[in-house]
Amino acid sequence: MLLAVDVGNTNSKFALFDGEALVAQWRLRTDGKRTADEYAVWISQLMKLKGFEMNRVRGAIIASVVPAVLFNLRRLCQSYFNVEPLVVGEPDVNLGVKVLIDRPQDAGADRLVDAIAGFTKYGGPLIVIDFGSGTTFEVVDRDGNFRGGAIAPGIELSIEAFYLMTARLPRIRVERPPEVIGKTTVVAMQSGIFWGYVGLIESLVSRIQAEFGEPMKVIATGGLASIFVAETKVIQAIEPDLTLYGLLEIWRRNRPPA
């Protein structure tokens, strides 16, 4: 079995693959101070609840946008799973694609993994929209190479800033408002956030396609993708576990011969 770990700024996903099948996944708040022992206690109990033993794990791969967690996640894999993890972004990990941006070393691991996973399933040219802590737009060419993209503040981040930086505005949930012209403060805020992000999605996709100069498929991932897909025609598919399958694909490209 393969342990795949996707570390985001807010949450981290831990997943188990049995061959090609995603058989379990769990979410944990990202914390740079969490020790390898704490990770081990947490994941061992969850694996047992699903009927999996830790000694069934034969490999591990990690993608992280939070450098502070890498040391203890690596120790988790070494000490408790007895494997040396692949870490996306390290020089010895072959992505199988070119990173065609001005500073390839600056490309976030999550963006590269999404690009690889999207191309593996859908081909290119392609735009992958990831609704995470940031809303990212990844551009992949017809050869699968990462060509850059756009990064906007995440929806929940924007809502939290709204709440923290104003004296009277409440904290709201991300949802489609009952009307565009809000007649209460909450509905007005929901309208601005929701329809504002629909406009952001459609505008950026249109501008990316115009600049790229070719028709492009558009797919989305991330927890909030399903909220928006019904309200815009530019997104053709949702892939909730895209990043995890991207880690599986990178593992395939790097795993030792049997």
Q: Are 99 and 145 contacting, i.e. CB atoms less than 8 angstroms apart?
A: yes
pLDDT at residue 220 is higher than 60:
yes
Are the folds of 2-87 and 104-240 the same? yes
Domain spans of the chain, in order of start: 2-87, 104-240
Which residue, among 239, 201, 258, 251, has the nearest Cα to 85 in the 3D structure? 251
pTM as predicted: 0.88
CATH topology of domain 104-240: Nucleotidyltransferase; domain 5 (3.30.420)
Residues with Cβ < 8 Å from 6, sequence gap 6 or more? Answer: 12, 13, 15, 63, 64, 110, 113, 243, 244, 247
CATH 3.30.420.40 assigned to 2-87: yes
Q: Is 110 a catalytic residue?
A: yes
Please report, as a single letter, which amino acid is at residue 92: D
The C-alpha angle with vertex 152 and arms to 162 and 15, in degrees rounded to 5, equals 100
Predicted pLDDT at 101? 94
| Cα 21 to Cα 39: distance, rounded to the nearest angstrom | 23
Which of 6, 110, 130, 141 does the annotation list as catalytic? 110
pLDDT in tens, 41-58: 999 999 999 999 999 999
Q: How far is CA 184 from CA 50, 119, 157, 160, in A?
A: 46, 43, 22, 19
| Mean pLDDT score of the chain | 92
pLDDT score recorded for residue 132: 84
* 104 residue type, one letter: P
Task: Tell me the pairing of strands 237-238 and 217-221.
Answer: parallel
Closest listed residue to residue 63, CA positions, set 135, 1, 12: 12
